[in-house]
Amino acid sequence: MAGIFERIGDILSANINAMLDKAEDPGKMVDQYLRNAKEDLAEVRANTAAVMAEEKRCKRIVDETQAEVNELMAYAEKAVMAGNDADATTFLTKKQQAETRLAEAQRTYATAKGHADQMRAAHNKLVSDIEALEARKANIKATAAVAKTQKTINKMTAGAAGASGALEAFDRMADKAQAQLDAAQAEAELVGNAGDSTEDLKAKYDGVASPSVAAELAALKAKMADGGQGEA
């Protein structure tokens, strides 16, 4: 019996967020709890009815035995009034026997009544707990749905963050590729400039006359200079 109310009490007293943390699907869990509680209620109701029936039976025995005691006492009094002590003694003897049975019946009835009271309280509590849980079920399911949506949003947000990180990585790779291209172009420019300098230098010396030509040119200039002076 205690297990029934412990299962219901766990839900009624538990913090919803804590329950959501522990349960994969709190909505389904609540439905299962309710199904179990209603099955337990059917069993409790049947047991309560049986205990209450026993209580009534014990009470009836007490009432009947009490009536027998009262009746025997009345006859004993009549016998005394009639001056018949023997009959009075018989009635009083039977009355005492009935009183013994009455005391036992009263003890049995007290026990049965205690059991019935406990079962009635248990039944009423279970009914109340089920009603309370039914009232909270919609809220629990709504909270579970919100939590599920939040988890989906969290996953999407995490995915977006990952995509942003990938874009940043692509940007870094693009910058690196551009730097490599710039370096290659600069290197090509340097190589080209080095080639041009060599060719220019070669052209400079290609235009210079050979030593024999230079000597002949000098002689010609000297000759022409001398000729000019003679004419003068």
- Tens-binned pLDDT, residue by residue, of the chain (232 aa): 555 445 445 544 544 455 545 666 777 777 877 887 788 788 888 888 999 999 999 999 999 999 999 999 999 999 999 999 999 999 999 999 999 999 999 999 999 999 899 888 888 888 887 888 788 877 777 776 676 777 777 777 665 555 566 667 667 777 777 888 777 777 777 665 555 566 665 666 665 555 677 788 778 888 888 766 555 5
Rg (alpha carbons) of the chain, rounded to whole number: 59
* Spatial contact of 161 and 48, defined as CB atoms under 8 Å apart: no
| Helix orientation angle between 26-81 and 85-206, rounded to the nearest 10 degrees | 170
Taking the C-alpha atoms of residue 27 and residue 187, their distance in angstroms, rounded to an integer, is 69
- Note the pLDDT of residue 11: 44
Helix (H) or strand (E) holding 108: helix 85-206
Q: What count of Cα atoms within 13 Å lies in the side-chain half-sphere of residue 8?
A: 24
57-115 per-position pLDDT tens digit: 999 999 999 999 999 999 999 999 999 999 999 999 999 999 999 999 999 999 999 98
Q: Is the pTM of this model over 0.85?
A: no
Query: Cα 22 from chain centroid?
Result: 5
